[in-house]
Amino acid sequence: MAKIIAIGGGGFTTLTSAGLDDFLLSHLNGTARRIGYVGTASDDDPVRLRYFHELIAPRVPHASVLSSNTGADDARQWATRHDMIYVGGGDTARMLTRWRQTGFDAALAEAHRNGTVLAGVSAGAVCWFEHALVRGESGAMEPISGLGLLKGSICAHFNADADRRPAFHEKIGSGVLPSGFGIDDGVAVVFRHGVPPAAWSAEPGCWAYGVNTDPDGSLLSVALPAFV
């Protein structure tokens, strides 16, 4: 069953919440265990690429990186060669624009349909949804449209900045965004077709929440069940 794993913040790219890396790799099944890293959102930040090569690549038989300069045909072929594709954080809007220009968005959707696990942190977590609340160039929290592989909306780093949680609540309560999920740093949420999303935390006191409104318009924020 194809999965999408959305991480609110942390893991190998930031050298925090290292347990997230163990949880991530536990979802690589079979003997191939091929993982690919996409750093478009950070313009292929060399420090994050080094962390991938040092902390993740030695733990799997095959690991590779998709350069942001890779042509459309080569990028699509690259996407088909992995059991898991992990997308790093950074500028979500810029990343999505680049993917749509090159057709890599369609390649990711096809890989997902064929069973590749899609995963990522921050920008790499929110990009899979219909809508996301992200920090814009002005510094304010702004809604954007994602790839639509998962329904609803999402906000990462839910506990990291004082304005994220209230902004997400306000956008959903006012109808600007549909119901969705807020994910704290140190937390991963696993989405599988036909199965309720479930959370796993590497940090005490951190979790993920489903946010929606009830019939009378009151806002509801409910902790997700734990992944088992």
Q: Is residue 29 part of a domain?
A: yes
For the stretch 166-181, pLDDT in tens is 999 999 999 999 999 9
> Is the model's pTM score more than 0.95?
yes
Counting the structural domains of the chain, the total is 1
DSSP-derived secondary structure letter, 179: S
Domain extent, residue 145, equals 3-223
Q: Is residue 131 part of a domain?
A: yes
Q: Is residue 47 part of a domain?
A: yes
pLDDT tier, 1 (very low <50, low <70, confident <90, very high otherwise) = low
For the stretch 173-215, pLDDT in tens is 999 999 999 999 999 999 999 899 999 999 999 999 999 999 8
Report the SS3 class of residue 75: helix
How many residues comprise the chain?
228
Q: Is residue 228 part of a domain?
A: no
Both tokens assigned to 157: 């780093």
First to last CA, the chain: 16
CATH number at residue 71: 3.40.50.880
Q: Is residue 213 part of a domain?
A: yes
Catalytic center residues: 122, 157
